[in-house]
């Protein structure tokens, strides 16, 4: 037996392995993306309440140099979160076709393909509407 429970952990357990750091960053990324969504929702609610005049001030807020850095950090967090999730997809959703398991690489490639397709559709919608 390894010893009595509960085992003591150091406060820097996440610093022992690179994989632990990635898990911690992945969890942090969800909090950062959620905070960014709240910011965008607050701006949307403010614009609905104030009308058309608020749009210019919100665009100024979102295009400020500080927010550009925030946009890039959130984009990196979203990329990290998506990539790690897609890497976990074959373990979370093992598929079988014809009694044989679909290779992990094919499931991951399908997830990236779906992401690319949805991104292309959103880009077309944005370009056509704008």
pLDDT digits (tens, 9 = 90+) for 52-92: 777 777 778 788 889 899 889 999 999 998 899 899 899 98
Residue 3 placed within a domain: no
Same-domain pairing of 59 and 107? no
Whether 87 maps to a domain, the answer reads no
Residues 15, 55, single domain; the answer is: yes
d(CA 117, CA 130): 20
Model confidence band, residue 43 (pLDDT cutoffs 50, 70, 90): confident
Same domain, 76 and 23: yes
Provide the token pair at 61: 């807020």
Closest CA to 40 of 17, 70, 10: 70
Domain limits for position 34: 9-82
The reply to whether the predicted model has a pTM over 0.85 is no
Dist. CA 123–CA 52, nearest whole Å: 25
Task: Identify whether residues 17 and 45 lie together within a single domain.
Answer: yes
Residue 72 and residue 98 in one domain: no
Does 53 map to a domain? yes
Q: Residue 17 falls within a domain, yes or no?
A: yes
């Amino acid at each position: 037996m390894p010893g009595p429970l509960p085992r003591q952990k150091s406060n820097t357990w996440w610093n022992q392995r690179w994989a632990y750091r990635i898990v911690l960053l992945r969890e942090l990324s969800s909090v950062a993306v959620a905070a960014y969504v709240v910011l965008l929702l607050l701006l949307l609610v403010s614009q609905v309440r104030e009308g058309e005049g608020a749009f210019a001030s919100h665009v100024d807020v979102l295009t400020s140099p500080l927010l550009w850095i925030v946009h890039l950090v959130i984009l990196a967090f979203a990329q990290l979160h998506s990539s790690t999730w897609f890497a976990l997809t074959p373990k979370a959703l093992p598929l079988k076709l014809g009694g044989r398991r679909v290779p992990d690489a094919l499931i991951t490639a399908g997830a990236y393909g779906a992401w690319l397709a949805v991104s292309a559709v959103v880009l077309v919608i944005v370009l056509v509407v704008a």
